[in-house]
Structure 1
Amino acid sequence: MGLLFAFTTQTKTSIYFYGYGERLKPAVDDCIGKLAPKKFHESLKTAWYRASKELVATFSTEVPSGITLRKLEIKDAVTVNELWPHNGKETIKFVKHAIENDLTIAACDSNGRLIAWCLRLPLGSLGLLQVMSSQRRLGFGSLMVRVLSKKIAEQNLDVFAPVVTENTPSRRMFEKLGFEKIDEIYWTLEEY
């Protein structure tokens, strides 16, 4: 598991090691050390969760009154990117690519305003789950996970999700839904 993205701008090169397991961390650290030996890098550690398609089949996807669900649209990319805690100068391209090429779900209020969303990442897992701060603790994050998980399970696939280790509320939500932690996964962006 894992992907490697590299991109170059006029002033720098960026390499993104995307979703690699604990067993690969020493090799990635060694590679980065050779590419940029004098530079410090930091990897984001996440808990890697799994839900079987059988478990997902039991998920309720009832939508609260006044809320509509839709696929994310390219016009939503700026909002999604801006509110993503791990965004950067180049991440808008990543967000647009995910919206255009994979499964997404968004919840909108009665005025059509975006209030929550989740995307399937190129790695195949859930990702970029976000709920607007004014709408938190109302069950919208869980709803986004349940609905997108159902769409993935309809393709006869199990569902995976990385959750930042320190994000205790999100980890609790996934565990309450029945997701099992099966590994530690890392994400590293190196610019030089």
Structure 2
Amino acid sequence: MRNQWSLLRDVYQEDRTNLTGYDLINIYINCNDKAHDVKIYTTNNDWLEHGTFVLIHDNINKLDIYLNTLNGSLRELENLLSSLQLNDRAWFFGYRQALKLTVNNFCLERGLSLKKLDQMETYVYYLPKRAVESFNCRLIADIYLASLSLNHAALVDEHWPYRSSDSLALIKDRIQSYISVGAFDGNGQLLAWCLRSVQGSLSNLYVLPSYRRLGLASLLVRHMAKEIAATGAEVLATIAFGNEISQLFFEKLGFKLIDSIVFTMVPGL
């Protein structure tokens, strides 16, 4: 079905703010190095109408799973998940609240307790194009911006609140495969950074404590927004429930709250 992935992608082209839609599928279409590790499954031959799919990326020691539907049957989506006989450890990435019951039922079918699942919910924020166009990316004195390299991955991982046994590999993939930016001093020391996730949202925004209140975080987000918008994609950010400081920061820059999504880690059998 790989030769039909672009058709499935285009089913979602009317809403580029959907984190498990057009841009996600498009990234996997263009990542040839991941082609043999990725499969997409649909529920029936009418997928061009309802857009129902499960995308599975066999990512070394776990499965990265993305699922969505526009107007298909949630029961059919649930049956599709069951039929795939997924026994490995799996991350269900950024699915809509409407699909939470589908994933929960999948976990219950495996005999798992929902109370023991590693689950996180986040808000989705969207930056209107007019806000991006108004951004001024004037540099701060003695600071320059550049893309990150794999040499910076360990530092980014060290300061990520969601650091885990999988996070360094995830960060390396984000740096290697997608847009990123770092703020450096005149000696080339990395002071702050911002990455982009496979789903297209801003991620891993961080400023080292000694360099805060200089406007670096705002500068990095404005720079990333310009870069992402130039590709034709929407500028999105995800913020964990309860992180009011980050919410206020992004709202001040013009981001609008549009949705909430769920991430779930399912242990292997």
TM-score by length of 1: 0.90
SS in 1 for 2:251: helix
* More strand as a share of residues: 1
CA distance in 1, matches of 2:165, 2:56: 18
Kindly provide the CA deviation profile for residues 97-151 of structure 1, in whole angstroms up to 9, marking residues without a partner as x. 1111110010012322111111111001111111112222322111111100100
Match of 1:43 in 2: 119
1:170 aligned to 238, 246, 258, which one? 246
Does residue 103 of structure 2 align to residue 28 of structure 1?
yes
Q: Report % sequence identity.
A: 33
Shift of 1:50: 0.3
CA distance in 1, matches of 2:58, 2:243: 28
2:132 aligned to 39, 49, 56, which one? 56
Match of 2:266 in 1: 190
Is the deviation greater in 25-34 or in 152-161?
25-34
Shift of 1:28: 1.5
CA distance in 1, matches of 2:171, 2:118: 22
CA distance in 1, matches of 2:111, 2:212: 40
User: Which consecutive segments of 4 or more residues in structure 1 shift more than 3 A?
Assistant: 1-10
SS in 2 for 1:75: helix
Match of 2:90 in 1: 15
Cα distance 1:112–1:8, how it changes in 2: closer, same or farther (>3 A)?
closer
Q: Is the 8 A contact 2:202 2:236 kept in 1?
A: yes
Shift of 1:14: 2.5
Q: Is the 8 A contact 2:128 2:254 kept in 1?
A: no
Shift of 1:20: 1.2
TM-score by length of 2: 0.66
Does residue 179 of structure 2 align to residue 179 of structure 1?
no
* More contact order relative to length (CA 8 Å, sep ≥ 6): 1
Runs (5+) with no aligned partner, structure 1: none
CA distance in 2, matches of 1:185, 1:135: 32
How does 1:70-109 map onto structure 2 within 5 Å?
70-109=146-185
Q: Is the 8 A contact 1:7 1:15 kept in 2?
A: no
Shift of 1:5: 4.9
Q: Is the 8 A contact 1:6 1:14 kept in 2?
A: no
Shift of 1:67: 0.7
**Given residue 92 of structure 2, which amino acid in structure 1 is its aligned partner?**
F
RMSD: 2.1
| Aligned residue pair count | 191
**Given residue 31 of structure 1, which amino acid in structure 2 is its aligned partner?**
F
Q: Is the 8 A contact 1:5 1:16 kept in 2?
A: no
* More helix as a share of residues: 2
CA distance in 2, matches of 1:162, 1:42: 18
Runs (5+) with no aligned partner, structure 2: 1-18, 21-54, 63-86
CA distance in 1, matches of 2:61, 2:232: 39
Cα distance 1:132–1:36, how it changes in 2: closer, same or farther (>3 A)?
farther
CA distance in 2, matches of 1:168, 1:59: 23
